Structure 1
């Protein structure tokens, strides 16, 4: 694990957006397409704001997906897809191909096979950006989730996760997919998450799912 520290989050987000843009550009130089997986939530928003206007990326050759999604309609305020369409898939990045983790169905299991097939066609991920909760989860791989062991150790591309405190099922990329990314970044802010990161390094993935991803990842941290 490589740890990069920044004096403030604004500098961190700008640096991270530039690094991701460079990595995508490099992959596209050698390949027909590239793939980018990103988290939902508010933390990565400033990265999206910078990245979406990156003119040197041939966005029409980039497949963009979420690392995880809540099983809610795109119109819901809890939809990560909604955030992506508002903050990332705009400006020059509007030309990217979006690969969804949600479809119209009552239960995610009803559509999981077709969603996984589309994701598998984009693997390995060229660049993966992850967040981390204070409970040391990443994507929707939560401690105590019903399919935690499978998501950590299984061979499937996607898993449906139901976890204590989560009001709806979630679809998540597996730890295997995340670990196989050509470039993997974890972005965190504040002392509480820094402490959680240091704790995770001493625990098993079952206790701290982020621990499964940290080897080979670059962690970006700002105090505020």
Structure 2
């Protein structure tokens, strides 16, 4: 397994550099295709990257933006990653981008999974994907101990997988490992000593114990204290 590890002097430098890197890769992809897809994580860590990226001079009208995973909650919920995207990425110049949904109103993700896949499928493969990693070595919503973990890691996995995991208060929906690995460019964003220790701890472990290992090959890991 081969990946590149880039360490930054501080988080601000990391966020600025990663935003510039993503913008450059999207511009290159737009020279080769009519539309491109950027998939990003939720949570608080990538917010500053979004703040920089949304101001970039790019043909955003030809960019599809989506989440790598989502909590199965309405968009106005305080735990909605979609809400974060609208507030911090799909604003400024990037307001012209098209959002590919990862939630449709219903009780359980299985109820409308097929509809979501129909929307996403024609836009694949991903052009650029940014992933995070938890201290438990999960990425997207591919958690150790999750109910559909092995299905999400399988090379023949569908585009999306509903996921329920210990400690996760609501169901999740996630892009599966083969879809994430199909991206033309992969970035992994981690900050802090705990996350770096988790990345080191993942070495040599099977993906079902350290799901981050399912997507590391060929990726660039960006880290700052």
* Shift, 1:13, TM fit: 0.4
Q: Which residue number in structure 1 is paired with residue 148 of structure 2?
A: 147
The residue matched to 2:87 in structure 1 has which SS? helix
List gaps (5 residues or longer) in structure 1.
none
Q: Which residue number in structure 2 is paired with residue 181 of structure 1?
A: 183
Cα deviations across residues 137-173 of structure 1 (Å, max 9, x unaligned)? Answer: 0000000000000000042000000000111100000
The residue matched to 1:114 in structure 2 has which SS? helix
Q: Which residue number in structure 2 is paired with residue 13 of structure 1?
A: 15
Of 34, 37, 44 in structure 2, the residue corresponding to residue 35 of structure 1 is: 37
List gaps (5 residues or longer) in structure 2.
none
Q: Which residue number in structure 2 is paired with residue 135 of structure 1?
A: 136
* Shift, 1:67, TM fit: 0.3
Cα deviations across residues 19-50 of structure 1 (Å, max 9, x unaligned)? Answer: 00000000001110110000000000010000
* Shift, 1:213, TM fit: 0.4
The residue matched to 2:144 in structure 1 has which SS? coil
Q: Which residue number in structure 2 is paired with residue 111 of structure 1?
A: 112
The residue matched to 1:121 in structure 2 has which SS? helix
Q: Which residue number in structure 2 is paired with residue 158 of structure 1?
A: 160
The residue matched to 1:111 in structure 2 has which SS? helix
* Shift, 1:70, TM fit: 0.5
Most deviating of 15-24 and 151-160: 151-160
- What is the RMSD of the two structures over their aligned residues, measured on CA atoms? 0.6
Cα deviations across residues 172-193 of structure 1 (Å, max 9, x unaligned)? Answer: 0001111110000000011111
Aligned length: 222
Q: Which residue number in structure 1 is paired with residue 72 of structure 2?
A: 71
Structure-2 separation of matches of 1:31 and 1:45: 27
Cα deviations across residues 101-144 of structure 1 (Å, max 9, x unaligned)? Answer: 10011111010001011111111100000000000000000000
Structure-1 separation of matches of 2:137 and 2:117: 25
Structure-1 separation of matches of 2:86 and 2:95: 8
The residue matched to 1:139 in structure 2 has which SS? coil
* Shift, 1:52, TM fit: 0.3
Structure-2 separation of matches of 1:93 and 1:65: 13
Q: TM-score, normalised by structure 2?
A: 0.98
Q: Which residue number in structure 1 is paired with residue 4 of structure 2?
A: 2
The residue matched to 2:39 in structure 1 has which SS? strand
